[in-house]
């Protein structure tokens, strides 16, 4: 049913696996390596058709300087931060409370309510495009960071609640019963008993949601326009239009746009892995 661990395979299989793994890794990273190489090339290399050789001279300072000081990229990055951080905090906070209610309390509509959270994850984005856009126009939230934040929180809470509810269901219920016997209020049980045990799951979910929202392009294009509210994923399109044939500047902009979620993952890697594997081994 489960694949056999590579350690239990024959020596020839292990050697083949160890030989092919670096090749697969290089092939997977090749596009990113090419973009990183382009970002430090001078403009003269592209005008002479020298795309794939090493840079004739290091042009990274000039390229990244233009990205930060001669374009709207800093504003797009700031917009992404102002959209992504509140969304991640709001969605995770709501899902912690909803997951606690669905995982701890037993009431008639519990299962049906949980199914509604799950079902929301299967609705295609394209179906919601027109009604969500009309709703933001009616509420005066179109082309605003607030509208994008509220929409993302509403849409991501379903997945986050599914994640948190299943995590809370795996916690020792005896701890909650003991707290109730001692007369602890329900909100105190949530804050002082359950929430500290959820820290690994919260960290893992924060990394996932931060990455999802930062990399969102569809809703950024549908619900915003212009540098005053667009996040970096939508803004990079305008940036590319500004520097249409400047591949070195477009590559530098792409690298800058991709760095924050990568940095977020590496900073939270320990907690992320702990959150995903907690409970895997009893």
What was the pLDDT predicted at 251?
Answer: 87
**CA–CA separation, 182 vs 174, rounded Å?**
12
Q: Which of 262, 185, 254 is nearest to 40 (CA)?
A: 254
What was the pLDDT predicted at 277?
Answer: 57
Q: Best-predicted range by mean pLDDT among 46-50, 79-83, 178-182?
A: 79-83
For the four alpha carbons of 191, 192, 196 and 201, in that order, the dihedral sign comes to negative
pLDDT grade for 272, boundaries at 50, 70 and 90: low
Q: Which residues, 6 or more positions from 131, have their beta carbon under 8 angstroms from its beta carbon?
A: none
**CA–CA separation, 35 vs 248, rounded Å?**
8
Structure tokens at 153: 């929180």
More confident residue, 52 or 174: 174
Q: Which residues, 6 or more positions from 12, have their beta carbon under 8 angstroms from its beta carbon?
A: none
DSSP letters of the chain? -PPPPGGGS-HHHHHHHHHHHHHHHHHHHHHHHHHHHHHTS-HHHHHTT--SSPPSS--HHHHHHHHHHSSSHHHHHHHHHHHHHHHHHHHHHHHHHHHHHHHH---TTHHHHHHHHHHGGGS-HHHHHHHHHHHHHHTT-TT-HHHHHHHHHHHHHHHHHHHHHHHHHTS-HHHHHHHHHTT--HHHIIIIIIHHHTHHHHHHHHHHHHHHHHT--HHHHHH--STTT--HHHHHHHHHHHTTT-HHHHHHHHHHHHHHHHHHHHHTHHHHHHHHHTTS--
What per-residue string of b and e applies to 198-211 under the rule 16 or more CB within 10 Å gives b? bebbbbbbbbbbbb
The pLDDT tens digits of the residues spanning 30-42 come to: 888 888 888 888 8
Asked if 214 and 84 touch (Cβ cutoff 8 Å), the reply is yes
The pLDDT tens digits of the residues spanning 47-66 come to: 777 777 888 888 888 889 88
Mean pLDDT (whole number) for 180-206? 88
Mean pLDDT (whole number) for 4-22? 81
More confident residue, 39 or 280: 39
Q: Which of 31, 221, 190, 14 is nearest to 102 (CA)?
A: 190
More confident residue, 121 or 278: 121
**CA–CA separation, 232 vs 192, rounded Å?**
38
**CA–CA separation, 64 vs 66, rounded Å?**
5
């Amino acid at each position: 049913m489960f694949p056999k661990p590579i350690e239990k395979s024959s020596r020839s299989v292990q050697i083949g696996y160890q030989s092919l793994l670096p090749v697969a890794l290089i092939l997977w990273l090749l596009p990113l390596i090419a973009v990183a190489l382009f970002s430090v090339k001078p403009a003269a290399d592209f005008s002479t058709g020298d795309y794939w050789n090493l840079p004739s001279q290091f042009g990274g300072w000039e390229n990244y300087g233009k990205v930060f000081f001669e374009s709207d990229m800093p504003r797009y990055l700031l917009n992404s931060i102002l959209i992504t951080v509140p969304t991640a905090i709001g969605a995770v906070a709501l899902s912690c409370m909803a997951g606690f209610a669905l995982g701890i309390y037993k009431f008639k509509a519990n299962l049906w309510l949980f199914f509604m959270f799950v079902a929301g994850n299967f609705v295609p984005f394209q179906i919601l495009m027109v009604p969500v856009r009309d709703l933001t126009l009616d509420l005066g939230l179109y082309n605003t960071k607030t509208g994008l934040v509220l929409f993302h929180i509403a849409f991501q809470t379903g997945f986050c609640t599914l994640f948190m509810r299943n995590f809370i269901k795996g916690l020792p219920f005896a701890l909650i019963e003991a707290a109730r016997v001692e007369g602890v209020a329900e909100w105190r049980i949530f804050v002082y008993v359950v929430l500290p045990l959820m820290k690994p799951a919260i960290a893992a979910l924060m990394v996932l949601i931060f990455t999802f929202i930062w990399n969102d392009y569809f809703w950024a294009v549908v619900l915003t326009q212009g540098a005053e509210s667009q996040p970096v994923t939508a803004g990079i399109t305008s940036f590319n239009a500004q520097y249409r044939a400047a591949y070195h500047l477009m590559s530098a902009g792409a690298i800058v746009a991709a760095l924050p979620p990568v940095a977020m993952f590496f900073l939270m890697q320990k907690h992320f892995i702990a959150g995903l594997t907690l409970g895997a081994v009893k």
